Amino acid sequence: MEQNNTNENQNKTENLNTNSNTNENKNLLNNNSNVNSNSNSSQNQFGNSTTNSQNVNYQSNYNIGGVQNSNNGNYHNNFQNYNNFNSANNNVNSANTNYNNTNNNFNNANNNFKNGNFNSNSTYQSIKQPKVKNKNGSGFGKTVLVPFVSGLLGAVIVVGTCVGVPAIRNGIAKQIIGTSSSSSSNSSSSTPILNTQQISLEAYSDTAIAAANKVLPSIVGIKIEFAVNSIFNRGTSVSSAEGSGIIISEDGYILTNNHVVNSSSSSSFYEVEEASKVTVKLYNDDTEYEAKIIGTDEQTDLAVIKIDKTGLTAAELGDSDGVQVGEFAMAIGNPLGLSSSVTSGIISAVNREVTDEDGNTYVAIQTDASINAGNSGGALVNSQGQVIGVNTLKLSGTGVEGVGFAIPINSTKDITDQLIKYNKVKRPYIGIGGIELDEETARVNNLVVGIYVKQLEDFSAAEKGGVKVGDVITEVDGQKVTTMDEVNEIKNKKEIGDELKLKVYRNGKYIDLTITLQEQP
């Protein structure tokens, strides 16, 4: 059966279903006929014409005069599209199995659907609607159907190729993300773009592999030997410790932590002397190269050593000021004597203030990349294989895991240059020892909030500038101060020889003083 419905005739068809087919429905009801139909329809639009395509299965049970005849018919209708049909040509509705056609006069008499006309031995055949020739429909398959199917297949092949070939898929994804980034940056440069695309584990693995291979030749293992005098041993014993370092020049300069190579410490039970021997192992090289300590800086916990070898692979230093929370991070070093070990994670925080066991305060990068004993002095690396920090500290204890800290590499550059050039770090120096006064302490002692000068070093910048023991420093360069850290922060922005203005409280009066910063001895 061939049916053609255009958009223009949809409303008319619905009216015919409800009005014109009343007689047929009544006849069917009078004969106790039940018709069950299942239909699937799909619509394709070409221009302004809409065509319904259906495969219909009918199973009819006719119950006449107590005799039941069952006839199962399968009607498979293939419909062709006819263009430029209007409502006067053809209206067919199959949902209620009512066939109405204004041109072909399908009525009750022509189709033998009359009361009492059915008998138990009747044979039913499908009623075929006369074909209507479409003058404008000649060559439809060639002009419309074939190009449409060809275009559809071509599109499927192209899309399948783009999705199936990883190189093409990744290239398209990068272009889409890049376009999104460019358009979004025009509207809001400060708002980061959230990547909702699936991340390939293979790509992540490739990133880690590339970063590790790039920086591993620049990471060394460091071993030191030192003497320990203990009341328990009744003499001197030799101990050793291990750490890591970063090659910063091809001629053998290596950056590490001060606590790795400067082992001197003491207590009432023992005394640890300075390192008597420092050796270095290069990547994939079991040779032990003896190293010389060039300079150390306890305040920043940095040190520089040197081996007598050239042609080394210097690490590429990144920009630690551009590090963002959540980005890829990799720690490389010599933990627990396991040389060239790599752990990875993310940046957990930046500009984190931490204080070590010696009371030194650092502004550090926090990471969850595993850092253990022996990682000190090693590199914290970004996804491009650039060193962004020097691994220094970790929090340890029950229930503590994945909290490590690295000194930002940008803050090490000036220190490193000075250690190589002067074997120490030259810093401006005031020369006082102070006590921090809070409001309660100041009130009890009839003083003011600030830094109480308890100690004054001889010939220091403070002594030469007129500062006296018992003064309370309340302002430095016009900024109110209540802690020694605040004073040092302002001072460290100055150079040796710069002037520093102080406001001090003395004998119930405020006095303005000017001192000239000296080099720290």
360-419 confidence digits (pLDDT tens): 888 999 999 999 889 999 999 999 999 999 999 887 767 777 899 999 999 999 999 999
Q: Tell me which residues are annotated as active site.
A: 259, 301, 376
pLDDT of residue 266: 60
pLDDT of residue 388: 97
pLDDT of residue 274: 75
pLDDT of residue 166: 64
pLDDT of residue 518: 94
Segment 339-348 long-range contacts (CB within 8 Å, at least 24 positions apart):
339/221, 339/281, 340/216, 340/219, 340/221, 340/283, 340/284, 341/375, 342/208, 342/212, 342/216, 343/369, 343/370, 343/371, 344/208, 344/369, 345/369, 345/370, 345/402, 347/323, 348/402, 348/403
Q: How many CB atoms lie within 10 A of CB 246?
A: 28
Whole-model pTM?
0.60
pLDDT of residue 122: 40
pLDDT of residue 4: 38
pLDDT of residue 232: 72
Which helix (H) or strand (E) covers residue 259, if one does?
helix 258-261
CA 304 to chain centre: 35
Paired with 513 in beta bridges are 502
pLDDT of residue 9: 38
pLDDT of residue 67: 37
pLDDT of residue 425: 93
Q: Which residues of the chain have pLDDT under 70?
A: 1-142, 144, 161-199, 233-235, 264-270, 397
Give pLDDT tens digits for 296-343. 999 899 999 999 999 999 999 999 999 999 999 999 999 988 999 999
pLDDT of residue 88: 35
Which helix (H) or strand (E) covers residue 184, if one does?
helix 166-187
Q: What is the DSSP string of 128-162?
A: PPPP---TT-TTHIIIIIHHHHHHHHHHHHHHHHH
